[in-house]
Structure 1
């Protein structure tokens, strides 16, 4: 994700130029909530504390084994942080998209037109820390992007997605009413000049 998109402006990674069509408008783009890194960070810190405590009590082979185990925990933390930084969830006016993967880059897509229902869940921890989960239901077969967890500012993003999902039907009605050749009912004012009695 090096560089910025020329088409969509600063703050949008250049990589998205490959996946988005020019007429699409980005509604929001985000990374998952930082809470996804809480467990790997806690495990690495706990491992370091155990390593420091054991090394103060003894030395030898046990310290070398624990050091190797802690280095594995640290490597896992670095890999998870890289995955978190490299993953993007975005909504455009046409679809939801999750771009993820380090070695193999994957793009999961759910067209907005396919979303028939959307559930919004917030656990107690999510309410305290400020994240939520979206569960999408679509017409037909299972979609690649049916559950999106750990969404920061989930109230705002839920409203933005809902507006996109439900607004097209309203837009179609206004476009139909204003379409050329359509019959729009005309009402005459009560006090028109030709109705006035002098």
Structure 2
């Protein structure tokens, strides 16, 4: 396919980026070639159907010709639809651009992505494609399912990396189940227990013990 033809079938996703906010494309996903196998086969089948119009009676020659024409037009339309369908991953969101005469744009911020399921049928595992199913805080029908994604596992990891780098998900403390706040925990208790030196005061009532002090009491430090 020539550069001019690619330009015609390219939806030019760069025009939808928020350039002044620093949005950049991380990955642009076109449909896997398996998405056009059925339309291509039907397009090929329209040729013998058209030839069949030359051997039928003259009274009905137009019937196979019209059927072949409709089949060819429908197949070409489906092929063009697949070529104009793009799923885009940026550093801020994911969005999908599709449509020929009427263009549809569905977008979802990274913060709304709750889970991504990757479905790989047997044929998809052989030829290297799968289907994405998004679960989000606001179910967007345009992004609910992305079909015929090439290298789906690698694309899934790409999305997870972008979400992690955006700071929307981070490591979880294995013991507490949540990140440990600063100034709490064993480190803080250690500081409290070693931050003061017990005095060697005099008098019958002064025992030099600090275990009877309250948590808010202070102990003077004796300078030698």
TM-score, scaled relative to structure 2? 0.64
SS of the equivalent of 2:23 reads coil
SS of the equivalent of 1:27 reads strand
Provide the rounded CA distance (Å) in 2 between the counterparts of 1:120 and 1:79. Answer: 28
Specify which of 80, 83, 87 is matched with residue 82 of structure 1: 80
Higher strand share: 1
Equivalence for 2:217: none
Give the greater-gyration-radius structure (CA): 2
Provide the rounded CA distance (Å) in 1 between the counterparts of 2:61 and 2:128. Answer: 40
Equivalence for 1:63: 61
TM-score, scaled relative to structure 1? 0.72
SS of the equivalent of 2:160 reads helix
The alpha-carbon deviation at position 99 of structure 1 amounts to 0.5
SS of the equivalent of 2:159 reads helix
- Matched ranges for 1:120-139 at <5 A: 120-139=118-137
For residues 91-135 of structure 1, what are the alpha-carbon distances to aligned partners after superposition, in whole Å with 9 as ceiling and x for unaligned?
Answer: 001111110112221101111110111111100111112111111
Unpaired runs of 5+ in structure 1? 3-11, 172-181, 186-198
Are 2:46 and 2:72, in contact at CA under 8 Å, matched by a contact in 1?
Answer: no
Equivalence for 2:29: 30
Equivalence for 2:44: 45
SS of the equivalent of 1:170 reads coil
Provide the rounded CA distance (Å) in 1 between the counterparts of 2:157 and 2:13. Answer: 27
Equivalence for 2:154: 156
